[in-house]
Amino acid sequence: MALPCVMIGSLGVSKLIVGGNPLSGISHQSGDADGQMLDYFTVARIKEVLGECERRGINTLLARCDNFIARVIHEYRREGGKMQWIAQSAPERKSLLDNARMAAARGVDAFYVQGAHADEVGRTWTWQEFAEAIRVIRGLGMPAGAGSHTPTFHARRLERGIDLDFACQSLYNITGRTGKIEQHVDLQELFVEEDRIAALEAIAKIPEPVIAYKVLAAGRCDPRKSFQQLAAYLKPKDAVVVGIYNERQANMVAEDVRLAEEYLGGREIDG
């Protein structure tokens, strides 16, 4: 059995996607864990992980659109790597639209509004501005999406007639860091089981392809039980993103692929 692909626009994306948070030192556990990830993930090790992912059938990375990740992807591709890059907006950038333009110039394959930023629609920016951002991203030639940590965001934007090429949905309504890479607030990042069920039920109602994230609660959940649960809720056209931190578990990529093949496998989805 091999990993099936789902379609995001015209992009064929492996149903299991490798996540970029560990590569950027974002553990969602503690400041010490952030530092350990940063120490471990040199550029060389990041490229090794991406290479193993490709060899095992994962063809897409979901990671921040910042200068560091852009440089790593440039090197990896120059050396023969084929990994596709779904980029999330970097919230520390002053302009979302400039970040999208950077993404297009750096060869990003799809771009989405980062979850904490999208969750601010209706507070710090308007739905009209959000819809315009989606229009601009598409105009740059990339499939356009948005993430959210709340189970109601996508229902609310659908009520306003705003469609996406893909949606991203966190299984946990975490607070604390709220997208800021410069700081970490450990005690406020709560991973509550009730959030997980609400998010999974919301995913089932989203018409676009959905990329589910935080599916292992940043290492807090048993992987097998999590994949079993995901299989019961995800639509055939949905995908899952999982971060890889293999310093102490060398077989992590192989194990994640095996679980994805077992629980999320099947025919390729063409729409």
87 pLDDT band, cuts 50/70/90, is very high
CB atoms within 10 A of CB 17: 27
Domains in the chain, number:
1
Specify the higher pLDDT residue, 256 or 98: 98
- Give the mean pLDDT of 99-110: 98
Q: Residue 57 in contact with residue 262, Cβ under 8 Å?
A: no
Q: Is pLDDT larger for residue 161 or for residue 214?
A: 161
Is there a domain that residue 26 lies in? yes
- pLDDT-derived band at 5 (thresholds 50, 70, 90) equals very high
Instruction: Examine residue 4 and state whether it is found in any structural domain, yes or no.
Output: no
| Domain presence at residue 7 | no
- Going by pLDDT thresholds of 50, 70 and 90, the confidence category of residue 246 is low
Both tokens of 25, joined, read 């030192």
> Computed from CA positions of residues 151, 156, 157, 161, in that sequence, does the dihedral angle turn out positive or negative?
positive
HEC profile of 212-246: EECCCCCCCCCHHHHHHHHHHHCCCCCEEEEECCC
8 domain residue, yes or no: no
pLDDT at 154: 98
Report the mean per-residue pLDDT for the chain.
87
CATH number at 35 reads 3.20.20.70
Examine residue 6 and state whether it is found in any structural domain, yes or no: no
| Residue 244 within any structural domain of the chain | yes
Q: What is the pTM of this model?
A: 0.88
> How confident is the model at residue 211, as a pLDDT?
98
CA distance 15 to 265: 8
- pLDDT reported for residue 175: 53
Residue 39 located in a structural domain = yes
pLDDT tens digits, one per residue of 165-222? 999 999 978 754 444 444 444 445 566 777 889 999 999 999 999 999 998 765 567 8
- Residue 47 near residue 71 (C-beta atoms within 8 A): no
pLDDT of residue 185: 45
SS3 17: strand
Residue 268, domain member (yes or no): no
Q: Which of 212, 241, 165, 140 is nearest to 11 (CA)?
A: 165
Question: Nearest Cα to 13, choosing from 203, 214, 238?
Answer: 238
Q: Give the DSSP letter string of 109-123.
A: SEEEE-HHHHTTBTT
User: What is the pLDDT, as a whole number, of residue 266?
Assistant: 54
Mean pLDDT calculated for residue range 85-112: 96
The average pLDDT across 65-93 equals 95
Residue 15: pLDDT above 80? yes
The predicted structure's pLDDT at residue 9: 95
Taking the C-alpha atoms of residue 109 and residue 162, their distance in angstroms, rounded to an integer, is: 21
**Domain hosting residue 123, numbered range:** 21-260
